[in-house]
Amino acid sequence: MASGNGSSAEAVVNAIAAGELAAEPRLLVSNKKGAPAFAWAQARGVPVLAIPTLTDPDAADAALAGAMASHGVELIVMSGYLRRLGPMTLARYAGRVLNIHPGPLPRFGGKGMYGARVHAAVIAAGVPESAIVIHAVDEEYDHGPELARRPVPVLAGDTPDSLEARVKALEPQFFVETLQEIAAGRLELPHAS
């Protein structure tokens, strides 16, 4: 799932194609009809689907849960998908929806905390280290159980843009590595409650 470029999702699809990840890409969903991620997904033969969420979130939730099920999706990877998932999708895929967040959680997460906002908050807090966090998704923004964390140092003179560039450069491979650990059975998904 991606709202924009879906760079982590693209890295996952590339790793699958290269035989580096035991998985199969089933569907790329965006809340935006013109999502840039659609171009690379279609070029690699991954089905794409736009499900706008603003006008009728409940219908969008039902459509998303249905589309994932009809495509045989077993695990959902959120790659810059900037919408909260609805209760039907969360119930059907409890413990099997993964998100990547560009800062330490829970301190630098929550509603409205994405992209440059996260990096600006990290720098403003004066902490020596940021992080990339992969977590299970639940009904609250950036709240579900943490599965993996990669530290990213905050350097002297960092700006939100420079920190964001370093974090973005590391995110796709970190997501692939985390999924490899899950596929190999070395990292367990949280149990659905």
**Of the residues 101, 119, 135, 191, which is catalytic?**
101
CA dist., res. 17 & res. 44, Å (int): 9
End-to-end, the C-alpha distance of the chain in Å comes to 23
The yes-or-no answer on residue 143 being catalytic is no
H or E segment to which residue 146 belongs: strand 146-153
Q: How far is CA 24 from CA 19, 39, 84, 123, in A?
A: 10, 18, 24, 38
CA dist., res. 112 & res. 3, Å (int): 15
Q: Which token pair is 13?
A: 């699809």
Q: Are the C-beta atoms of 186 and 147 separated by less than 8 Å? A: no
Cβ–Cβ contacts within 10 Å for residue 73, how many? 19
CA dist., res. 184 & res. 81, Å (int): 26
CA dist., res. 94 & res. 76, Å (int): 10
Peptide bond into 106 cis (omega under 30): yes
Catalytic residues, by residue number, are 101
